[in-house]
Structure 1
C-alpha cells in the first residue's frame, strides 16, 4: 500500500469520526491529512508529508476557529434569542414604579403569567418595550422603536 493511500484512508476515517462529533474541527484535521496524501503522491519524503499535514491541519483549524462557524464561547443564555424565545418580544407596560437612583420596575402579564420588569435605561413611561434579557422571572427591557 502506498503512503498516499494510507493518508487517504486515515483522512476518510477522521471524516467518519467527524460525523459523530458534530463539529468541523476533525474535518479540518482531515484536510491536513489530504494535504499529506498529496505530498506523498508527488513523492515527498515522510518527514515532509508529516510537516505539511500538520501545518495544513493546524492552519485550517485556526481559520475555522476564527470564522463565524468556529467556537462561540459561552454566550449568556438570558440574552440569547436562540435559547430564550422571549428575547426580542414586545410587552406593554401600563405603569412604572420609581425605585430611586433612576431605576424603574413594573409588573406585567405576559403569556398568561405575571412578570417583573426592569427598565434597562431611560425614563419609565407607559408604552411598548422590547425584552432584552431574562433573569429568572424578571425581564430587562428597553423602549421599543416600533
Structure 2
C-alpha cells in the first residue's frame, strides 16, 4: 500500500470515529489526514506528510477548541430564550396528593409541579421551567393572571 492510500484510509477512519463520537475533533484530525494525503500525492518526503498532518489537523483542533471556548458559552438567558413556554400561564384546577397537577397547555394535558415548595393553590400559574415532560410552575397573584396560551381554546365573542 502506498503512502497516499494510507493517509486516505486514516482520514476515513477519523470520519467513521467522528460519526460515533459527535464532537467534531476527530473530523478536524481527518482534515489533517487529508492534508497528509495531499502532501503524499505531491511527492513530498514522508516527514512532510506528518508535518502537513500535524500542522493542519492540530491547527484545526486548536481552532475548534478556541472557537467553542469563546463563542460556545450559553448563558441562562440563552437557555430561557430557547424555551418559548417560559412565562406562559396555565390554570390549575386541582392538585393530586403527591403534589402534581394536570394542566391543559397547547392542546394537550401536561403534568405540572411547583417550582418551589409552598401551598398547593388552584388558579392561574406561570410556567417557570421544565423538567423533562413536567412543567415547573409558580402561582400568580390574581392581579397578574393572564389568559392561557392554549391553542385549542375557542374564542366566543359576546
- TM tier, smaller: 0.5 to 0.7
Question: Which structure: greater strand fraction?
Answer: 1
Question: Counterpart in 2 of 1:30?
Answer: 30
For the aligned residues, what is the CA RMSD?
3.7
Identify the residue that residue 109 of structure 1 maps to in structure 2.
Answer: 125
Deviation of 1:45 after TM superposition, in Å, equals 1.2
Contact 1:31/1:57 (<8 A) preserved? yes
What corresponds to 1:39 in structure 2?
Answer: 39
**Residues 1-146 of structure 1 correspond to what in structure 2 (within 5 A)?**
1-67=1-67, 72=72, 75=74, 80-81=79-80, 86-87=85-86, 89=87, 109-111=125-127, 115=138
**Residues 31, 70 of structure 1: CA spacing in aligned structure 2 closer, same or farther, 3 A cutoff?**
farther
Structure 2 length-normalised TM = 0.50
Does the CA-based 8 Å contact 1:65-1:71 persist in structure 2?
Answer: no
Are 2:126 and 2:139, in contact at CA under 8 Å, matched by a contact in 1? no
Counterpart in 2 of 1:139? none
In structure 1, the gaps of 5 or more residues are 92-107, 118-125, 129-146
Return the TM-score normalized by structure 1: 0.54
| Stretches of structure 2 lacking an aligned partner (at least 5 in a row) | 90-123, 128-134, 147-158
Matched position secondary structure for 2:36: helix
Q: CA deviation at 1:53?
A: 0.4
Q: Deviations over 1:109-145 (max 9, x none)?
A: 225875279xxxxxxxx799xxxxxxxxxxxxxxxxx
